[in-house]
Amino acid sequence: MRTARARLIRALVGLALLAVAVAPGALARPGHGHGHGKHKANGGEQSPLVIGHRGASGYLPEHTLRSYRLAIRLGADYVEPDLVATKDGHLIARHEPNITNTTDVADHPEFADRFKEDVLVDGNPEDGWFASDFTLKEIRTLRAVQTFPERSHKFDGKFKIPTFEEVIKLVQHQSRARHRTIGIYPETKHPTYHEQLGLPLEGRLVAALDKAGWDSAQDPVFIQSFEQSNLQQLNQMTDVRLVQLVDAFDVLPDGTLAYEPPFDRPYDWTVSGDPVLEARTFAFFATDAGLAEISTYADGIGPWKRYIVSTEAVDLNGDGTVGDENGDGAINEADRRLLPPTDLIDRAHEHGLVIHTWTFRNEQSRLASDYGGDPINEYLQFYELGIDGVFSDFPDTAVEAREVFAGG
């Protein structure tokens, strides 16, 4: 089965170069706001959902129409566009406002003078080129690149940067062509940062969804954000489902989570001036009080998977030291051991919330030692724990694991 699937994947990726690309502030409104505490395990949708993380980003450059299309062909139920704003107010699909590592902008001498140093994004200084300094016309001259050095760079410089409207058109076209509902799962990237630039995301996002006919909790849409006030505002603007993302900085050797800026708390809390919010970290969202608070404005929670199953660094090979346990010359997830799962999934459900977790990847270096190098085993663990959805760079693997889980 996997040999045949591997041949299919190679064929689909090969066809990506030949396929025809798809062409290319709202105010709060009365009557909006969610009825919460109604967890339905994704309603009538597939469960667990498979969400193509930035498309099929394990195979093709992320956040491109080709990557989203491939994710759909590989069975994804939803595709995830991260959204940032251009200088002239268009929403485009990029992982970060800083487009240095996701595009070939550095190869464009006409934009050399746009390079900036020490630009603060959520209080963190960054160097590079930023989407908000480019018009959409200028963005259209750039091409996407693979961001992971160990993945294929065969398609670097081949695919354009899509607008949010173009992603919506692709999803709706593919839904009709494939006779199945395919959803969209946009993330508002750094909403406070965009607000400070005078380029707020919320109205533009809701307007695009409204134009597509998506404005209810029954529509195939989830909006996600790491910030809270952004979701609370969206809760008054639209009835589509909302998901509170939950981050952390790293996993300590004993498996506990570390919280350091800018991954310590939602940035809107950091700049809120509210001592209660400033004293919190993302960990608050994983408490019962935090889940109850989320349920007042959102429909789900999207924690990093280490909130559900963490790992610890131990002496697996018995040499008396802790480090490179498998002898491959690197220290990574493959050298760590799983800890017992938490009860976060069950508690989220008790609060009426769906729970979708991230990010699942096939590379051996990103799989804890217990999985034996097989990414299917990681999916199966989370499916058995009752997860409602997974974000995957390799959606075909997530779909295959779901088939195994269902006994198919």
Q: Are 243 and 291 in contact (CB under 8 A)?
A: no
Which of 34, 95, 351, 356 is labelled catalytic? Answer: 95
Residue of 408, 319, 356, 399 whose CA lies nearest to 70:
399
Residue of 222, 226, 227, 228 whose CA lies nearest to 240:
222
In 74-201, which residue ranges form alpha helices assigned H by DSSP?
A: 136-139, 164-178, 191-196
194 as an active site residue: the answer is: no
Which of 39, 53, 351, 356 is labelled catalytic? Answer: 53
Mark 108-125 as b/e (b = at least 16 C-beta within 10 Å). Answer: eeebeeeeeeebebbeee
DSSP reduced 3-state for 82: strand
CA distance 298 to 290: 12
Q: List, as one string, the DSSP characters of 208-225.
A: HHHHTT--STTSSBEEEE
53 as an active site residue: the answer is: yes
- In total, the chain counts a number of residues equal to 408
CA distance 274 to 284: 15
What are the residues whose beta carbons fall under 8 Å from the beta carbon of 85, sequence distance 6 or more?
A: 91, 92, 131, 132, 194, 197, 199, 201, 204
Supply the residues annotated as catalytic. Answer: 53, 95
